[in-house]
Amino acid sequence: MGIYQDRVLPRLLDKVMGRPSTHAARAKVCSGLHGDVIEIGFGTGLNIAHYPDSINKVKAIEPSALGFKIAEPRVAASPVPIEFAGLRGETLELESEQFDTALSTWTLCSIPDVGAALTELRRVLKPGGEFHFIEHGHAPDAKVARWQSIIEPVHKRLTGGCHLTRPIFEIITQAGFTIIEPDEYYFPKEPRPFGYTFTGRARRD
């Protein structure tokens, strides 16, 4: 799986996650970002087009070297300064309480120790700072949730560890955030086991 994971998957995700159907969702979750921002799961820079003018700079966390290389033209064209700042969300080599806002889009599903990553994210946010997120996760409908459990082992192997059954609001709350403006729904035109979506903002008190 090494060649697939390192050389094929980043290119595949760039196409799949760059579909037109994701644009409005990305724009909504990026709205309100301001000041110094940390983005975990930066990927290939698909959120750059939706960064608001209120951002001063972005520190990008991304484990895939190829993903960040694919992002280079987008980074170069960005009016917002973007700096690569690490590979793993679980161990951020960054000072505490330095970011005003944080961003994650379809990332929490694939971080191996998501609890540690969220704890680290909370650490580097300023008190009162907000975490903006959109993620897929565990569906409330029993039939859909059953299919998620059946599909998940194979899905993780094909998608770089992406879980379908994580209770997103719960794990964010357990990390010490207060969720504000929560919303959850089936993503339009997405197969239901893959598309149950959690979005909102979470405040670091």
Rounded distance, CA 16 to CA 67, Å? 13
Would you list the DSSP string of 32-93? Answer: T--EEEEEES-TTSTTGGG--TTEEEEEEE-S-HHHHHHHHHHHHH-SS-EEE--S-TTS--
d(CA 165, CA 136) in angstroms, rounded, equals: 8
Give DSSP secondary structure letters for 103-161: EEES-TTT-TTHHHHHHHHHHHEEEEEEEEEEEE---SSHHHHHHHHHHHHHHHHHTTS
Distance from C-alpha of 144 to C-alpha of 200, rounded to nearest angstrom = 22
Q: How many Å apart are CA 198 and CA 134, to the nearest integer? A: 6
Name the CATH superfamily for 2-204: Vaccinia Virus protein VP39 (3.40.50.150)
For residue 12, report the phi and psi dihedrals to the nearest 5 degrees: -65, -45
Backbone angles phi, psi at 139, to 5 degrees: -80, 150
Q: Helices 9-16 and 65-77, interaxial angle, to 10°?
A: 40
Reading the chain (205 residues) residue by residue, the pLDDT tens digits are 588 999 999 999 999 999 999 999 999 999 999 999 999 999 999 999 999 999 999 999 999 999 999 999 999 999 999 999 999 999 999 999 999 999 999 999 999 999 999 999 999 999 999 999 999 999 999 999 999 999 999 999 999 999 999 999 999 999 999 999 999 999 999 999 999 999 999 999 9
